[in-house]
């Protein structure tokens, strides 16, 4: 029987934040693809289709009580691993990377499913582990293996950005659960010691991106071109911006990947500091609201699930904005709900669906 309390506890603020960010992103994509003389469907129209699908998936998740997701978490995790393996053999090659799995007329990035899968499986693992003292190194072995399998498969595509993102989300969840400071320092020291080995296994273009980050002006027409053009676009917006459809970097196509990784640069050039600050406030409000969903959830699995989804959104925003402004190397992470891309948009809206699901059922625990 339908429970009216589900509607009464629906989080309209969270939905409103998501809709405003998505709508702003659609308008920005219109500008990013403006005046392109091609016969293809405009990018903003395609994004509207993906948004409709993503919203449909988001609302479908509300039907299923999130507490039962724990029973499916390992199945979803295994499915994501199988899809990542399938991409190695039957994936679509784009720009030297095999990241896409063809599904009829569409293509899907299994790395996006892996982001949700790792949140579900770690939330389930730590929930079943129960509340214990801060974890030691031996307690990190099982979750570490669960994380490293998809990370290794993703980096092999190669897709360094998504691999780093999965690792950051997992590390955030582990940190929230609790780790001894001695263990944390030991892990950090181990990572530093392994950095030469990690450097050895990086692709040439990935090494070049890191070196370019340290000195973008060394190769301004080659490896440093992306970041330099992005920084010019962001800086030229100044305080008020140049105005809608008036950005020279984007309208004259100096800015590469301006509908995906560097979509914020288009927005910053046209809307300036004021618009950029407004967008940043929206993302900050979304992250803080996600933390409030986790805080108010009295059930451990839901608490961890909400923290994982919030970490996923936060790290994507943080890395993307630092990337396009020159504070981090270019690693190919889109701006969630804002950059063009069906897989990323649907994955993020699926995560938002989990947050809405948790908030709607808080009354079950007296919240």
How high is the pLDDT of residue 184? 82
How high is the pLDDT of residue 178? 87
Of 64-68, 78-82, 153-157, 192-196, give the lowest mean pLDDT range: 192-196
Residue 18 has pLDDT above 90, yes or no: yes
Residue 313 has pLDDT above 70, yes or no: yes
Of 178-187, 259-268, 294-303, 309-318, give the lowest mean pLDDT range: 178-187
- Give the residue from 144, 111, 143, 120 showing the smallest Cα distance to 71: 120
Q: Which residues contact 333 (CB under 8 A, 6 or more apart)?
A: 161, 162, 164, 165, 261, 316, 319, 320, 323
Residue 111 has pLDDT above 70, yes or no: yes
Q: How confident is the model at residue 88 (pLDDT cuts 50, 70, 90)?
A: confident
Percent of the chain with pLDDT over 70: 92
Distance CA 32, CA 18 (A): 21
DSSP result, 97-137: EEEEEEETTEEE-HHHHHHHHHHHHHHHHHHHH-S-SPB-G
* Mean pLDDT for the stretch of residues 77-94: 88
Residue 36 has pLDDT above 70, yes or no: no
Of 6-15, 184-193, 215-224, 323-332, give the lowest mean pLDDT range: 215-224
330 or 286: whose pLDDT is higher?
286
Distance CA 334, CA 320 (A): 6
pLDDT digits (tens, 9 = 90+) for 189-236: 888 887 887 777 777 777 777 777 666 766 666 667 778 888 888 888
How high is the pLDDT of residue 288? 97
- Give the chain's mean pLDDT: 87
Of 15-19, 209-213, 357-361, give the lowest mean pLDDT range: 209-213
How high is the pLDDT of residue 222? 60
What ranges do the domains of the chain cover? 4-34+42-365
Q: What is the SS3 assignment for 92?
A: strand
155 or 16: whose pLDDT is higher?
16
Residue 1 has pLDDT above 90, yes or no: no
* Mean pLDDT for the stretch of residues 99-118: 86
pLDDT digits (tens, 9 = 90+) for 224-267: 777 888 888 888 889 999 989 888 887 777 777 788 889 999 99
Q: What is the SS3 assignment for 179?
A: strand
How high is the pLDDT of residue 214? 65
pLDDT digits (tens, 9 = 90+) for 134-178: 888 888 999 999 999 999 999 888 888 899 999 999 999 999 998
Q: For residue 305, how far is the Cα from the chain centroid?
A: 15
Using DSSP bridges, classify how beta strands 106-108 and 92-94 pair: parallel, antiparallel or unpaired: unpaired
How high is the pLDDT of residue 190? 83
- Give the residue from 317, 293, 69, 331 showing the smallest Cα distance to 169: 317
How high is the pLDDT of residue 260? 87
Tokens of 1: 């029987």
Q: How confident is the model at residue 99 (pLDDT cuts 50, 70, 90)?
A: confident
- Give the residue from 38, 91, 34, 104 showing the smallest Cα distance to 247: 34
pLDDT digits (tens, 9 = 90+) for 260-278: 889 999 999 999 999 999 9
């Amino acid at each position: 029987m339908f429970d009216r309390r589900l509607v009464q506890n629906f989080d309209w603020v969270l939905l409103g934040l998501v809709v405003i960010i998505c709508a702003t992103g659609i308008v920005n994509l219109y500008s990013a693809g403006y005046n392109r003389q091609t016969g293809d469907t405009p990018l903003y129209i395609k994004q509207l289709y993906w948004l409709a699908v993503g919203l449909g998936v988001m609302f479908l998740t509300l039907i299923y009580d999130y507490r039962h997701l724990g029973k499916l978490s390992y199945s979803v995790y295994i499915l994501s691993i199988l899809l990542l393996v399938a991409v190695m053999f039957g994936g679509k090659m784009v720009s030297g990377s095999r990241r896409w799995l063809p599904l009829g007329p569409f293509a899907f990035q299994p790395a996006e499913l892996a982001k949700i899968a790792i949140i579900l499986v770690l939330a389930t693992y730590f929930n079943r582990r129960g509340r214990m003292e801060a974890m030691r190194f031996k307690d990190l072995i099982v979750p570490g293996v669960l994380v490293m399998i998809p990370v290794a498969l993703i980096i092999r595509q190669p897709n360094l950005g998504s691999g780093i993102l999965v690792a950051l989300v997992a590390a955030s969840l582990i940190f929230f659960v609790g780790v001894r400071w001695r263990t944390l320092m030991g892990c950090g020291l181990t990572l530093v010691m392994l950095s030469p080995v990690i450097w050895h296994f990086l692709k040439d273009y990935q090494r070049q991106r890191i070196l370019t980050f340290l000195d973008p002006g060394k190769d301004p027409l080659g490896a440093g071109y992306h970041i330099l053009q992005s920084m010019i676009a962001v800086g030229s917006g100044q305080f008020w911006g140049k105005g809608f459809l008036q950005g020279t970097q984007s309208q004259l196509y100096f800015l590469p990947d301006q509908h995906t990784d560097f979509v914020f640069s288009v927005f910053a050039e046209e809307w300036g500091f004021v618009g950029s600050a407004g967008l940043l406030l929206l993302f900050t409000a979304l992250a803080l609201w996600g933390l409030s969903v986790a805080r108010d959830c009295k059930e451990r699995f839901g608490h961890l699930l909400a923290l994982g989804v919030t970490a996923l959104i936060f790290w994507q925003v943080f890395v993307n904005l630092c990337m396009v402004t020159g504070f981090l190397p270019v690693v190919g992470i889109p701006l969630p709900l804002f950059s063009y891309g069906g897989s990323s948009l649907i994955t993020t809206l699926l995560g938002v669906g989990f947050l809405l699901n948790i908030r709607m059922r808080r009354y079950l625990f007296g919240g």
